[in-house]
Amino acid sequence: MTEKYDVIVIGAGPAGYVAAIRCAQLGLKTACIEKWQNAKGEGVNGGTCLNVGCIPSKALLDSSYKYHEAKSELSVHGISTTSVKIDVKAMIERKTKIVEQLTGGIAGLLKSNGVTSLFGTGKLLSGKEVELTDHKGGKQILAADNVIIATGSQPINIPVAPIDGKIILDSTGALELTAVPKRLGVIGAGVIGLELGSVWNRLGSKVVLLEAMTDFLSIMDQQIAKESLKIFTKQGLDIRLGCRVTGSDVKTKEVVVTYQNSDGEEVKETFDKLIVCVGRRPFTEGLLAPDCGVNLDERGFIFVNEKCATNAPGVWAVGDVVRGPMLAHKGSEEGIMVAERIAGQKTQMNYDIVPNVIYTHPEIASVGKTEEQLKQAGEPYNIGVFPFVASGRALAANDSEGMVKLIAHAETDRILGCHIVGPSAADLVQQVAIAMEFGSSAEDIGMTVFAHPTLSESVHEAALAVNGHAIHIPNRKKRK
């Protein structure tokens, strides 16, 4: 007999498990399928984000920064340290324990909310039926009134640097290194490349990032991107722009990478390890039966409308597998929106206010429009910039690199975007995201009382600077 549910969710990453929990909270009989297995071969929830993405990478970023700080930055505080060492194996074990704690926590949340957890691979058939293949190969057919696809994404592999799991690694393999490579190459200087490069650079690797684009972080506000590039170069990251990798030759314990530099010259470079971080693609292999009614767009993403509904009635898709930025929080909010719409609510999502963060140190965070986007659209704007070097709290913490940039409409003063490189940028930009959600102006933030001394005062001053009212820096002339 076919098991019937109100909702079946395929994928238990941040988009899927959140959708499943919300569906269950709304009284819908819900099942959630996850194919992920841990090292013991056990089914675990959390998808890429918790198992080999957001969470483990942040654990390594924090551990590596504490090591770097203890070794190189405490003397300014009058603290002397000697013989600071890093135990990479212990660092990796800590990361693994955090992952286990959080994935176990999700299992508990699903259970406590009444969601049926199923482990294996789901395939969407016609008529909103789902074929579940468990990890032992057993198959069963499930049926639902609604199906939510949340299968996420996977790393893009490139033929010129095939992953072997030993010398040439993808982002997953880079999280499992048990020793610090002396020479580390990274193909791609985007979010993942910068984060992983930062980890091993702090631990002592000579890190070279080869980026095919001629502009650094081209999707970010370019004033912030240029400032970030200066900071990362100062930290020792060797970021080479306009470099296209054309081949790789793996030796016994090293790899020789051939690339064409920005001048068109062929260059060879030898590394002990090479990490390929050229982006991610939607995971749809084996997911869709030919007659399921779900279509893909020209880039391989599942085609959905603004409410995340596919072409097939009652079938929805959320997260990395659909259009838009591949961000865990974007997927989670889509999951909530879809669950509530299935339950008859009219929930919508504001795609104009989705924060984006790079968890380097300093962090880079943004929300809303960049200055370049506004110029291209011909929209009038004013900007306010406040450097962290003018922040008493940042100076006291010896963490004063970077700036806050706030952009507001020149006529209405409504906040259009905020871009930050600096300490706690991820948390600071969220303040502006909340303000934008409520349609706030730069003046609204400027009139708000901020505690002193705090890093958030930098947001306050940037907002004041938009209209030439900054107190703790000279004001720039407003744009005409």
**Residue 19 resides in a domain:** yes
Nearest Cα residue to 363 out of 399, 406, 324: 399
Measure the CA–CA gap between 54 and 330, rounded to whole angstroms: 13
pLDDT tens per residue across all 480 residues of the chain: 689 999 999 999 999 999 999 999 999 999 999 999 998 899 999 999 999 999 999 999 999 999 999 999 999 999 999 899 999 999 999 999 999 999 999 999 999 999 999 999 999 999 999 999 999 999 999 999 999 999 999 999 999 999 999 999 999 999 999 999 999 999 999 999 999 999 999 999 999 999 999 999 999 999 999 999 999 999 999 999 999 999 999 998 999 999 999 999 999 999 999 999 999 999 999 999 999 999 999 999 999 999 999 999 999 999 999 999 999 999 999 999 999 999 999 999 999 999 999 999 999 999 999 999 999 999 999 999 999 999 999 999 999 999 999 999 999 999 999 999 999 999 999 999 999 999 999 999 999 999 999 999 999 999 999 999 999 999 986 554
From 68, 135, 409, 452, the catalytic residue: 452
* Any domain includes 347: no
Query: Could you list the residue range(s) of the whole structural domain that residue 243 is in?
Result: 168-278
CB-based contact 16:149 (threshold 8 Å): no
Bin 14: left if φ > 0, else alpha if -120 < ψ < 50, else beta. alpha
Q: Judge contact between 153 and 282, C-beta under 8 A.
A: yes
DSSP 430-475: HHHHHHHHTT-BHHHHHTS---SS-TTHHHHHHHHHHTT--SSSPP
Domains in the chain: how many in total?
A: 3
Residues 6+ apart with CB under 8 A from 193: 186, 187, 209, 211, 275, 277
Shared domain check, 317 and 230: no
Is 441 inside any structural domain?
A: yes
In-domain check, residue 477: no
What's the rounded Cα separation, in Å, for the pair 247 and 244? 9
pLDDT of residue 1: 67
Taking Cα atoms as reference points, which of 351, 387, 385 lies closest to residue 369?
Answer: 351
Question: Of 263, 278, 293, which residue sits at a domain end?
Answer: 278
For 312-356, give the DSSP string. STTEEE-GGGSSS---HHHHHHHHHHHHHHHTT------TT---E
The Cα-based distances of 224 to 218, 240, 376, 383 in angstroms read: 11, 18, 18, 13
427 in any annotated domain? yes
Same domain, 92 and 12: yes
Within-domain flag for 208: yes
Collapsed DSSP state (helix, strand, coil) of residue 146: strand
**Domain termination site, one of 314, 342, 370:** 342
Same-domain pairing of 135 and 32 = yes
Residue 383 to residue 85: CA distance in whole angstroms: 44
Q: What is the CATH number of the domain that holds 408?
A: 3.30.390.30
Asked if 182 and 89 sit in the same domain, the reply is no
Please report whether residue 332 resides in a domain.
yes
Look at residue 2 in the predicted model and tell me its pLDDT. Answer: 83
CA 57/CA 146 separation, integer angstroms: 34
Indicate whether 119 and 45 sit together in one domain: yes
d(CA 429, CA 413): 18
Same domain, 328 and 414: no
Do 367 and 460 lie in a common domain?
yes
- Answer yes or no: 452 catalytic: yes
Q: Is 473 part of any domain?
A: no
Are 288 and 262 within one domain? no
- Edge-to-edge strand ranges of the sheet holding 255-260: 244-250, 255-260, 266-271
Q: Within this chain, do residues 26 and 75 fall inside the same structural domain, yes or no?
A: yes
Q: What is the CATH number of the domain that holds 186?
A: 3.50.50.60
